[in-house]
């Protein structure tokens, strides 16, 4: 099935965790360090998913 792989799940979870951390960093007053950490985690999600996919943890393509 498309996207049902450890690589895809890891990328999505990292993006969600990064978004959550970034959102928490903006409540109630902006804490730019926490927000930046959240953005960094969310941006790392794509490359991590790609590397995991190339390492054999991606969905099989027939």
The answer to whether residue 36 sits within a structural domain is yes
The answer to whether residue 35 sits within a structural domain is yes
- Domain boundaries, position 32: 6-57
The answer to whether residue 1 sits within a structural domain is no
pLDDT tens, N- to C-terminus, the chain (62 residues): 466 899 999 999 999 999 999 999 999 999 999 999 999 999 999 999 999 999 988 887 65
* CA angle centred on 49, ends 20 and 3, rounded to 5°: 95
The answer to whether residue 62 sits within a structural domain is no
């Amino acid at each position: 099935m498309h996207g049902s792989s450890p690589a895809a799940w890891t990328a999505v979870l990292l993006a969600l965790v990064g978004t959550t951390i970034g959102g928490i960093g903006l409540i109630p007053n902006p804490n730019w360090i926490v927000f930046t950490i959240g953005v960094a985690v969310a941006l790392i999600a794509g490359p991590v998913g790609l590397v995991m996919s190339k390492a054999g943890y991606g969905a099989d393509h027939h």
